[in-house]
């Protein structure tokens, strides 16, 4: 899979094709994060054939629907359990992200894994994504924003055009804050 752009959440339900022996095969539902519904269906078959004895030509997808975020106006902490292949083995991980939508958090996770561990999206399997309550978060970089009276200054790190073009020798100190 290519984690192109911002991923979207899909609910995919599928089953093995009914046969004489098994007229009502069990249904399997997956919660997937993919760039589009085609990639979602493809990923569904990837996982299903890995974990169950169902192949795409012997099965059918009954539903592939996009899920939109129920409360995009609220900031949430997401815990993501994943499994990825590194160069020398496969490992489990638990990562936390703070975001407004599940799909954005998972997208951030893919980018983060690529950056920190050079893991390509094809070698990452997102096992579980859940919203985590603030007091249950484990990562410091997420916990530091759990402050109802949060307050921090906004530093100016890039000089304004006027300051960038200032003469080499000057008596004015640069203005480094807003």
Partner 1 sequence: MVYKKFIEIGTVVYINLGPHAGKLAAIVNVVDQNRLLVNGPCSKVPRCVVNLKQIKITQFRIKMPFGARAGVVGKAWEKANINALWAETKWAKKIESKAKKASLSDYDRYKLMKIRQKRSKIIAAEVRRLKKSAKSQ
Binds partner 1 (CB under 8 A): choice among 2, 62, 72, 131: 72
Q: How many CB atoms lie within 10 A of CB 44?
A: 23
Query: Is 87 a binder of partner 1 (CB under 8 A)?
Result: no
The distance from CA 145 to its chain's CA centroid, rounded to whole angstroms, is 19
Q: 69, exposed or middle or buried, with CB in 10 Å at 0-12, 13-18, 19+?
A: middle
Q: Which of residues 117-146 bind partner 1 (CB under 8 A)?
A: 141, 145
Query: Is 70 a binder of partner 1 (CB under 8 A)?
Result: no
Q: Which is nearer to partner 1, 51 or 145 (CB)?
A: 145
Q: Which is nearer to partner 1, 14 or 79 (CB)?
A: 79
Nearest Cα residue to 99 out of 87, 108, 91: 108
Query: Is 169 a binder of partner 1 (CB under 8 A)?
Result: no
Sequence-ordered list of residues with C-beta below 8 angstroms from that of 41, at least 6 positions apart, any chain: 12, 61, 64
Q: Which is nearer to partner 1, 28 or 97 (CB)?
A: 97
Query: Is 98 a binder of partner 1 (CB under 8 A)?
Result: yes
Inter-residue contact 43 to 1 (CB < 8 Å): yes
Query: Is 73 a binder of partner 1 (CB under 8 A)?
Result: yes
Choose the stretch contacting partner 1; rule: CB under 8 A; options: 45-53, 98-106, 121-129, 162-170: 98-106
What whole-number distance in Å separates Cα of residue 150 and Cα of residue 112?
25
Query: Is 5 a binder of partner 1 (CB under 8 A)?
Result: no
Tokens encoding 53: 């004895």
Choose the stretch contacting partner 1; rule: CB under 8 A; options: 7-15, 19-27, 32-40, 97-105: 97-105
Binds partner 1 (CB under 8 A): choice among 13, 30, 93, 100: 100
Tokens encoding 88: 């020398």
Choose the stretch contacting partner 1; rule: CB under 8 A; options: 14-22, 72-80, 109-117, 121-129: 72-80
What whole-number distance in Å separates Cα of residue 46 and Cα of residue 54?
10
The residues facing 8 across adjacent strands are 34
Sites of contact with partner 1 (CB under 8 A): 72-75, 98-100, 141, 145, 148-154, 176-178
């Amino acid at each position: 899979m290519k984690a192109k752009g911002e991923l979207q959440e899909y609910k995919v339900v599928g089953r093995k094709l009914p046969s004489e022996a098994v007229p009502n095969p069990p249904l399997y539902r997956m919660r997937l994060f993919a760039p589009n519904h085609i990639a979602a269906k493809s990923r569904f078959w990837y996982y299903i054939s890995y974990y169950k004895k169902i192949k795409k030509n012997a099965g059918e997808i009954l539903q592939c629907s996009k899920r939109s975020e129920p409360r995009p106006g609220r900031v949430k902490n997401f815990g993501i359990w994943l499994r990825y292949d590194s160069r020398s083995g496969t490992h489990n991980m638990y990562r936390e992200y703070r975001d407004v939508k599940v799909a954005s958090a998972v997208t951030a996770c893919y980018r983060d894994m690529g950056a920190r561990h050079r893991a390509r999206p094809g070698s990452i399997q997102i096992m579980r994504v859940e919203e985590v309550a603030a007091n249950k978060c484990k990562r410091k970089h997420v916990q530091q924003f759990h402050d109802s009276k949060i307050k921090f200054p906004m530093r100016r790190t890039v000089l304004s055009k006027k300051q960038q073009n200032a003469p080499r020798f000057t008596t004015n100190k640069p203005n480094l804050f807003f």
